[in-house]
């Protein structure tokens, strides 16, 4: 009994620790602007002024949200297209140095993003890509692909090769067997990879800040960092907290709706 109580208490402590920042963000979002430095756990007077200020004309937050959707959506689609094909080849084909290639893919994800910004900025400046979507999508793709290839390679290795052999005996080519048999069976892993990629790209800040200097092209995370107060010099904590809620709630909703698929993708192959 004591062990069970300690286990429940430990889980409750971890959950409270993880949710405390989000709770404080929500509470701060619903404070009045003049109460933004209040440290009470509940607003003395609830207000939606901060939420209204988020979408005021001067902030351009609506366009920033659209830009985030475009960048995250394109990055996720390209990651799945390239990552699925690459992972399938690494899982199914036999060639020399296959493990070394997979190791290089994983090693590519270990380079700090800040070390790549200067050469990327120089390259995109020469190409005339500054203030374009591709200047944000391609670097994000470079960081998302290693993780997706690693996850999907492990997932494809769990699928029996006999399924493809049976499909090819029935007249399918290797490509048709991949599209009609393997991809549907790999849906949990692909879906999990898509969710993780979308969330990582949605929250990305450094690349979007470095590659874009036009207000109409900035993403939501960059727009939040550039909010100004009434005088232009004070820090609008309440508005930034409200914008953080607006940006975070859709991600929470997606995870809650598709949590079964995400868990299935992460645990696939863990039990024989």
Q: Which residue has the tokens 């689609």?
A: 77
b/e 39-60 (16+ beta carbons within 10 angstroms → b): eeeebeeebeebbebbeeeebb
pTM of the model: 0.85
Contact assessment for residue 35 and residue 44, using Cβ atoms and an 8 Å cutoff: yes
Q: What DSSP designation does 97 have?
A: T
| In the predicted structure, residue 199 carries a pLDDT above the cut 80 | yes
The top-scoring range by mean pLDDT among 147-151, 158-162, 176-180, 220-224 is 220-224
| In the predicted structure, residue 264 carries a pLDDT above the cut 70 | no
Read off the pLDDT band of 158 (50, 70, 90).
Answer: confident
| In the predicted structure, residue 47 carries a pLDDT above the cut 70 | yes
pLDDT on residue 44: 83
DSSP-based helix, strand, coil % in the chain, nearest 5: 75, 0, 25
Q: Using one digit for the tens of pLDDT, what is the confidence trace for 67-113?
A: 999 999 999 999 999 999 889 888 888 888 888 888 888 887 787 87
pLDDT on residue 233: 53
| In the predicted structure, residue 163 carries a pLDDT above the cut 50 | yes
Rounded CA-CA distance 81/180 in Å is: 15
Of residues 271 and 147, the one with the higher pLDDT is: 147
pLDDT on residue 268: 57
Mean pLDDT calculated for residue range 158-180: 83
pLDDT on residue 271: 46
Read off the pLDDT band of 265 (50, 70, 90).
Answer: low
Read off the pLDDT band of 218 (50, 70, 90).
Answer: very high
- Sorted by sequence, the CB contacts under 8 Å of residue 2 that are 6+ apart come out as none
pLDDT on residue 229: 60
pLDDT on residue 135: 94
| In the predicted structure, residue 231 carries a pLDDT above the cut 80 | no
Q: Using one digit for the tens of pLDDT, what is the confidence trace for 10-43?
A: 999 999 999 899 999 999 989 888 887 888 888 8
- Sorted by sequence, the CB contacts under 8 Å of residue 30 that are 6+ apart come out as 43, 46, 47, 48, 50, 51, 242
Q: What is the DSSP string of 136-179?
A: HHHHHHHHHHHHHHHHHHHHHHTS-HHHHHHHHHTT--HHHHII
Q: What is the DSSP string of 116-145?
A: HHHHHHHHHHHHT-TTSSHHHHHHHHHHHH
**Average pLDDT across the chain, whole number:** 85
pLDDT on residue 267: 61
Q: Using one digit for the tens of pLDDT, what is the confidence trace for 252-261?
A: 887 777 777 6
Rounded CA-CA distance 99/249 in Å is: 40
39 three-class SS: coil
Mean pLDDT calculated for residue range 181-207: 87
């Amino acid at each position: 009994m004591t062990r069970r109580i300690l286990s429940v208490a430990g889980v409750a402590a971890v959950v409270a620790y993880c949710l405390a920042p989000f709770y404080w963000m929500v509470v701060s979002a619903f404070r009045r602007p003049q109460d933004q430095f209040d440290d009470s756990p509940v607003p003395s007077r609830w207000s939606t002024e901060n939420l209204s200020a988020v979408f005021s004309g001067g902030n351009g937050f609506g366009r920033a949200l659209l830009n985030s959707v475009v960048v995250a959506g394109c990055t996720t689609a390209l990651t799945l297209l390239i990552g699925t094909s690459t992972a399938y080849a690494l899982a199914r084909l036999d060639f020399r140095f296959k493990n070394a290639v997979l190791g290089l893919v994983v090693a590519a994800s270990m380079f700090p993003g800040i070390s790549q910004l200067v050469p990327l900025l120089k390259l995109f400046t020469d190409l005339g890509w500054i203030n374009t979507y591709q200047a944000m999508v391609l670097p994000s793709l470079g960081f998302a692909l290693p993780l997706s290839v690693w996850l999907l390679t492990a997932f494809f290795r769990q699928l029996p090769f006999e399924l493809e052999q049976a499909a090819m005996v029935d007249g399918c080519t290797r490509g048709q067997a991949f599209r009609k048999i393997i991809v549907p069976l790999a849906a949990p892993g692909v879906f999990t990879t898509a969710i993780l990629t979308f969330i990582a790209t949605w929250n990305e800040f450094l690349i979007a800040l470095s590659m874009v200097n036009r207000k109409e092209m900035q993403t939501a995370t960059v727009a939040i960092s550039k909010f100004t107060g009434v005088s232009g010099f004070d820090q609008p904590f309440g508005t930034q907290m409200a914008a953080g809620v607006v940006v975070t709630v859709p991600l929470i909703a997606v995870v809650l709706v598709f949590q079964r698929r995400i868990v299935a993708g992460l645990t696939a192959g863990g039990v024989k």
